[in-house]
A and B are shown apart, each in its own frame.
Chain A
Amino acid sequence: MIPQLQFADYVRLLPELVLVVFGVIVMLAEPLVDPQSDRKSLGVIALIGALLSIGASIYQTGYAGDAFNGAIHVDTFSIFFHVLIGLITAVVILASFEYLSVQQIKYGEYYGLILLGAVGQMLMSSAVELVLIFIALEISSIATYILAGFRRRVAISIESSVKYFLLGSFATGFFLYGIALMFGATGSTVVYTIAATLTHGATPLAYAGVALMFVGLGFKVASAPFHVWTPDVYEGAPAPVVALMSTGPKAAAFAVLLRVLFATAAPGWFWLIWVSAILSMTIGNIGALVQQSVKRMLAYSSIAHAGYILIAFAAAQDVGMSAAIFYTATYAAMNVGAFALVAHLANAGEKYVTLEDYAGLGRRAPAQAAILTVFMLSLIGIPVTGGFLAKFYVFQAAMQSHLTGLVIVGVINSAIASYYYLRVIVVMYMREPSKEVPVMRMSPGLVVALSACVVATIYLGVLPDRVLRYALQSAQALVR
């Protein structure tokens, strides 16, 4: 017998429903707008949708619990990620207004796809049934594959899209295979039922399932050794899309990873995470050292940051999980900001994306240079910015779990990393430009988006207590 759906079931899916409705509206409105316009009106609709979905997520606080037959579970954890993904989406949409008009991209589907991708990402954080998680992952991924190829007259954008699609499908295949093995091992695909079975002991099948699922998710979070796609895809995809895919789907994938590893009481993940953390940090940072393109550098940096987050995973327990959650949020604030600014500085045709193009920026555009400096400092982990606290929190969690080795590798890595982020600052303020690089004024939408990122970055660095407590509550809600 299928149980009746209650009102509460719909509330527990409300943010996703809102996004779907607005996404569809954008798609339907697309043929109605002037084909030569820059689709800003559609962007505004999408923005409203994103903001409403944040409101809907906050509204869910009164409706914690299961929905749709236990396939969805709303708790502090899911709400935290819903709000985070909603914010990322909203900021990226704001930052895209200028980008689309500068790059002459006249397709309203862009905004529709962003919203539909967000549906998948949000669902990933609240789904507790593996098949639903898989479907959510696919919704998110497919939207992102298309978005990556949105500069469709540019070869590297197409390359980016195809590469991402091929490797991404392969990775989701692994994930699906993992689910199948897990089902074989435990007879269930619901996270909590699996947990109940696995606490009584795990079969080799379960170990294999965990490993395969980790491969799939490791690809999505761009952790080594599943990171190879990242620099090429980030380099080719439109910069605001990179802002999105390096944070939104990544945050959602981390949410899934937290669920899959901890809520299922999965066995044998520790060394997987440990090795992947060290590889990601080291490969990411060393790779970033030699990059000339800022986009590629930030791509390698995002691999390294995935490594830091995995340290928190290895630390496990409440502190480790909450450190991972807090880091994800902080990383989103600084990275969306950094890529949004890179998108702006790239100018028409994304011509100016190398370090050399940033020379003398401190003089040409003091405000933009100052903002980028804030993000770079946060990525290094300098106090007063969220990046510092996030890193501190991760290392502290690891130290509390007596993972001194991981902490030392992490600490050395952040010292290496400071070099290449610092180089951006050095170039902006201390080098004289070797060629003429045009300066564009920032559009109001971008100003709002960047201000939001700067404020969030500093807020998380100075008054982190509230968010830290939410992160801790989320971590506690995760395991029941």
Chain B
Amino acid sequence: MSTHVLDSYILSLVVFVPLGGALLLMFFPRRERDIRVFTLVVSVLTFILSLHLPVHFDYTKATTANSAFQFEVNHQWISAPNIHYHMGVDGFSMWLVVLTTFLLPLCVLMSWHSVHERVKEFHILLLMLSAAIIGVFVSLDLFLFYFFWEASLIPMALMIGIFGHDRRIYAAVKFFLYTMIASMFMLAAMLWLYAHAGSFDYTDIQRYLAAGHPEVEGAARWLFLGFFIAFAVKVPLFPFHTWLPDAHVEAPTAGSVLLAGVLLKMGTYGLLRFNIGLFPAEAHRNAPWIIILAIIGIIYGALVAMVQPNMKKLVAYSSVSHLGFVVLGIFSFTAIGLVGGTFVMLAHGVSTGALFTLCGMIYERRHTYEISEYGGLATSMPVYATFFLVITLASIGLPLLNGFVGEFMVLSGAFLANPVWGIVAATGVIWSACYMLWMYQRVFYGEIKNDKNLKLVDLNKRERAILWPFAAAALIMGVAPLIWTRAIDHATQNLLSVIGQVMGR
């Protein structure tokens, strides 16, 4: 496959275009409209640039090749300690990058009217946050990874704390402290690796760990745990999930969308890339209890979601449930489970992103998330109701929509690994249908009891323009998952061969 001129710059561009946009915004006059239009242009540009990745991705690249990554860029950044500006993507990370850039312009659009104070700060934070998240997905140097990982913390915390709802400060501080403290463990593990392997480079460390040095034997368990804690809190895996509902409910809509859509995926991506990629043997040994946590998360998240009187909190708890599926798929150690887990990440990004957007739209009209405040909205807002239904069905995994594909594959993988896991986890699908459809029924059907709901205006053009891409993505991902799974499958084969080598020893 021919190489494109952009190939070695594209990842830097995708990270630095939004970052550059944020820096330029700092010197912008405080004219709200200009700021919004500029941010929108930057974000659309980033999205278009990121499409270069799937278009030029080399599916034929041998899985046994020296490096599993594509579009690589590798420069020395700091000489001592030996730190490189090393970026690259494989099938796992590529679509996560595109998901981020896909959500970004939609986030700008959905904040058009809902954010009207400190507009400049908001857009700066939005761009910085997405740059940092993309950076996390493309970094192949552990230091660089940690750099972006920590850098994503502040914009998100500030976004919740400044632009959020009533209990925003509590939520922001909790979010910050939880993730900050957890990632310290990862830092310690990374430093240990550097002290012994002499490099922060992902492939170097992978090779070092696979070589079976005696000092690794004793430390591997702790290193695994160090990474695991940081990622488990981010995912969040039961019982580390308590920050999530607070953060979600208090965050502004765009913040929730990015938080659920991609920020949580930093955790599952980390589990996949580091916990499994670097420590396959430890991961395999620890898989049973991690899977049990994941299954508890699936069912617990669903049950708690069911009793939520608050729409946004319901969606937040549904994330805990869905992310449980991701972890289940990843730790099933089967090809289909890994592909499915990664696909659920993407599907959840789209459908939960859309759900939060929909919650935000109704909040702009009524300033409440309480389900009991609504009822009969299908009459007053038919278009809104239709979009909501499509996304609800996508989220509960109706065939032909995106949720089904991933969950089906995850459950197959789990079933292959251990039928009991598969059976128990499959009940999660039923629960999710229960809470989502029940909520839908309470909000949209029946008589309009609350007079305030009579005069609600249906979606305007801007709002429809936001929801169409979500709905279209949900449908295309459900009908033609191969577009996505092809790359993911490519990366999975690669990962399984690495695991096979280590485990076969």
Contact = CB atoms under 8 A, between A and B. Distances in A.
Contacts of B49: none
Contacts of A469: 79-80
A425 B80 contact: no
B148 interface: yes
A176 B191 CA distance: 39
B188 A429 contact: no
A411 interface: yes
B161 A426 contact: yes
Given A412-B184, A426-B173, A465-B77, A384 B161 contact: no
Contacts of B216: none
A113 interface: no
B327 interface: no
Main secondary structure of the interface of B (DSSP, over half): helix
A406 to B, nearest CB: 11
Contacts of B195: 396, 399-400, 402
B222 to A, nearest CB: 10
Given A383-B147, A414-B184, A422 B158 contact: no
Given A382-B151, A383-B147, A472-B80, A430 B191 contact: no
A419 interface: yes
Given A399-B194, A415-B180, A392 B143 contact: yes
A413 B158 CA distance: 22
B80 A468 contact: yes
Nearest to B152: A383
A396 B189 CA distance: 11
Contacts of A402: 195
A395 interface: yes
Contacts of B187: 392, 395, 411
Contacts of B80: 319, 322, 468-469, 472
Contacts of A425: 158
Interface residues on B, range: 35 or more
Interface string A436-480: 000000000000000000000000000011001100100000000
A399 B78 contact: no
B180 A399 contact: no
Contacts of A396: 81, 191, 194-195
Given A399-B195, A429-B162, A465-B79, A407 B188 contact: yes
Given A425-B158, A429-B162, A418 B180 contact: yes
B181 interface: yes
Contacts of B191: 395-396, 399, 407
Given A382-B153, A399-B194, A465-B79, A411 B188 contact: yes
The 7 closest A-B pairs by CB, nearest first: A399-B191, A383-B147, A415-B181, A383-B151, A399-B195, A411-B184, A430-B161
8 contacts: A382-B150, A395-B188, A400-B194, A418-B180, A419-B173, A419-B177, A422-B173, A430-B169
Interface of B: 77-81, 118, 121, 143, 146-148, 150-151, 153-154, 157-158, 161-162, 168-169, 172-173, 176-177, 180-181, 184-185, 187-188, 191-192, 194-195
